């Protein structure tokens, strides 16, 4: 039978594993930003140079690729921003709170609002994503959704990224809730914390 201390240690180890999954998104996002800028620069250049030369250098595929990349950057940034605490907070109030009170507010805010929001997002987008991949009402599979524009890109992959973003945000929300609970309840004392000191300050 697992002791209470062992259960708490196991629970506190979960944020480390979740954060290890989210942290590499930073490099992915950096690459996506650079790629978006590069594709956007080419699209603008191709439009004007093509007019001068009388040749169609731009294409709908590259134009759609640009906003696909921007959408991917936007969606994948949420869990990474939450992990590093760069999301918008009411610091005017938090600045005067103790670490335990901040943890209490963050725990309940995450548990009552963020986590249910992610679950709702996954539930609402699940069927549309499957339909975009070609799921028919009779349960069989057809062709996946494609852009109605000439030479456009498939819609299914970018719609799937909405599910991925909600899933990763849900995981990071759980990680933040556990961290806040640990500070609020005082379980960081006497236990090997898997979290960085700046993310999980000790309780005085």
Nearest to 61 by CA among 152, 148, 158: 152
User: What token pair was written down for 99?
Assistant: 């670490």
pLDDT in tens, 9-38: 778 888 889 999 999 999 999 999 999 999
Distance CA 151, CA 2 (A): 59
Of the chain, the end-to-end C-alpha distance in Å amounts to 32
pTM of the model: 0.85
pLDDT in tens, 152-200: 899 999 999 999 999 999 999 999 999 989 888 876 643 334 344 344 4
Cβ neighbour number for residue 103 with a 10 Å cutoff:
23
The burial of 142, by beta-carbon neighbours within 10 Å (0-12 exposed, 13-18 middle, 19 or more buried), is given as exposed
Distance CA 193, CA 199 (A): 11
Q: E strand or H helix at 170, and its extent?
A: helix 156-185
pLDDT in tens, 69-128: 999 999 999 999 999 987 676 666 777 778 888 889 889 999 999 999 999 999 999 999
């Amino acid at each position: 039978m697992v002791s209470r201390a062992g259960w708490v240690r196991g629970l506190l180890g979960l944020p480390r594993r979740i954060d290890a999954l989210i942290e590499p998104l930073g490099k992915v996002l950096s690459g996506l930003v650079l790629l978006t800028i590069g594709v956007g620069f080419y699209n603008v250049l191709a439009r004007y140079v093509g007019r001068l030369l009388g040749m169609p250098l731009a294409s709908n595929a590259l134009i759609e690729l640009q906003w696909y990349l921007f959408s991917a950057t936007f969606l994948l940034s949420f869990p990474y921003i939450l992990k590093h605490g760069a999301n918008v907070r009411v610091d005017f109030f938090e600045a005067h709170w103790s670490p335990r009170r901040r943890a209490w507010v963050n725990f309940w805010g995450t548990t009552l609002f963020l986590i249910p929001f992610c679950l709702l997002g996954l539930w609402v987008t699940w069927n549309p994503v499957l339909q975009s991949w070609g799921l028919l009402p009779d349960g069989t599979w057809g062709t996946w959704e494609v852009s109605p524009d000439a030479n456009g890109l498939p819609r299914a992959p970018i719609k799937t990224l909405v599910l991925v973003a909600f899933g990763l945000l849900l995981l990071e929300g759980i990680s933040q809730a556990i961290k806040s609970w640990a500070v609020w309840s005082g379980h960081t004392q006497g236990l090997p914390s898997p979290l960085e000191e700046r993310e999980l300050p000790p309780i005085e």
